[in-house]
Amino acid sequence: MKVIGKMGPSQKNQNNEQNSPLEFKTLLSKIANDTKIAEGAPAIEDILRCIYRNQPISTKRISQYTKLPLPIISKVRTILERNRILKRDKKGAIYSEEGLKLIEKNLKFKMPYDLKCPTCNGRSIILDDYFGAILKKHKIHSKNRPTVNTSIDQSYATPETATHRAAFMADRGDLEGKRILFVGDDDLTSIPTALSGLCEEVVVMDIDDRLLNLIKNISDKENLNIKTIKHDFRNSIKEEYKNSFDVVFTDPPYTIEGLKLFLARGVEALGKEGALYLAFSHKPINEYLELQKILLNTGFVIYELIPGFNKYEGSEIIGNTTFLARLIGRNLNFNEKIDLNKLYTGEVKPVIRHYKCMNCGELHKIDGKSVRIENLVCKCGGAKFKMIKREKI
């Protein structure tokens, strides 16, 4: 982190109030450059605004709010602290007195709160009593989930998110009398969907037997009639399922190739037309553009896009939230090439993570291949770890 040193307190920075707006914007651009944020200075401004509206606020919540990755927030915070703009409070980041004056002068911040709807949290729909009861049931079922398999980018949406997804699809008229396929379902969204009693048919395809068994068991217990099928999406779906669904829900691995693969299977299931719900992480802008071009080229129109709709347990790395898009297709035609060697995050951006045992303090290195974090047990017997560093390979 040599760069940070360079950005550290100099006489000029200690004398912050004399900075001109232009100099301040140059500082933001420099921070964006040094931390390699694709969105540039505006992303640094977003972080500063988020803290202005919510201080004190934790790195994790800044990440959720700004949709920027946790390690980036962490680096930016450190640089801003060295520049004496931010301080550390027990509850998280707050402005120093000079920092506050500086940003109010240079960025003209004036609105120390936001206007997000407190009732729906910006999701645009609410759970009524009927879906509220479904959430209650689903919370109990969710307790039986197996540990995540991070090597295939599993990470679990909260039971609230799964139930909001079902309610959202119900509101948009995509459940009543419809046949819906889940292209992968580590989030168990199929459970509240089937519990709604609205669908004609609910089918789940997934590669993970543990999840399929769990869904089957819940389905039997609740008499939901969910059909579970073990399937590796690197292969086409069986002929009998092609062109057989009205709606597809998918939350693919958050790589471009992962998106393409799951999208290809979704299009097979829909045939020429239908609705596809896509949960996907907020990507850096160039990748986001590529992603949306793929959707449009396949014949999908983005009818609705809600940032931060989905919340996850764990996966702090992507700020715990992803967007939900409702896509409508006519004349669908998937014809992108897919690189099967770059499906999962670990394949596209291999990293070594350093974990500290919460019990004895022992350090562990994990490359996500031989040993995965969910299977790690420390020599002391401890099984809780805190990630302290990520290194690109």
**What's the min distance (Å) between Cβ of 192 and a copy of itself?**
13
**What's the min distance (Å) between Cβ of 102 and a copy of itself?**
13
From residue 207, give the alpha-carbon distance in Å to each of 4, 142, 152. 44, 19, 10
CA distance linking residue 334 with residue 299, whole number of Å: 8
Is the Cβ–Cβ distance between 290 and 300 less than 8 Å? Answer: no
Take residue 285 and report the two structure tokens written for it. Answer: 């802008």
110 lies in the site for a copy of itself, by CB under 8 A: yes
Cβ proximity to a copy of itself: between 86 and 366 the closer is 86
117 lies in the site for a copy of itself, by CB under 8 A: yes
* Residue ranges in 325-344 that form contacts with a copy of itself under rule CB under 8 A: 328, 330
38 lies in the site for a copy of itself, by CB under 8 A: yes
* Residue ranges in 118-177 that form contacts with a copy of itself under rule CB under 8 A: 118-120, 122-128, 131, 167-168, 170-171, 173, 176-177
49 lies in the site for a copy of itself, by CB under 8 A: yes
Site string for a copy of itself, 54-93 (x = CB under 8 A): ----------------------------------------
Cis check: omega of the bond before 118, within 30 degrees of 0: no
- Check the CA dihedral 153-305-335-262 and report its sign: positive
What is the number of other CB atoms lying within 10 angstroms of the CB of residue 5?
Answer: 8
Is the Cβ–Cβ distance between 342 and 365 less than 8 Å? Answer: no
**Cα dihedral 97, 102, 107, 111 in deg (nearest 10):** 20
**What's the min distance (Å) between Cβ of 169 and a copy of itself?**
10
* 114 CB-contact burial (10 Å; exposed 0-12 / middle 13-18 / buried 19+): exposed
CA distance linking residue 196 with residue 226, whole number of Å: 12
Cβ proximity to a copy of itself: between 254 and 344 the closer is 254
Three-class SS state of 309: strand
**What's the min distance (Å) between Cβ of 339 and a copy of itself?**
22
- Binding-site residue total for a copy of itself (CB under 8 A)? 57
36 lies in the site for a copy of itself, by CB under 8 A: no
Interface with a copy of itself by CB under 8 A: which residues? 38-40, 42, 45-46, 49, 106-111, 113-120, 122-128, 131, 167-168, 170-171, 173, 176-177, 197-198, 200, 273, 285-286, 288-289, 292-293, 296, 299, 301-307, 328, 330
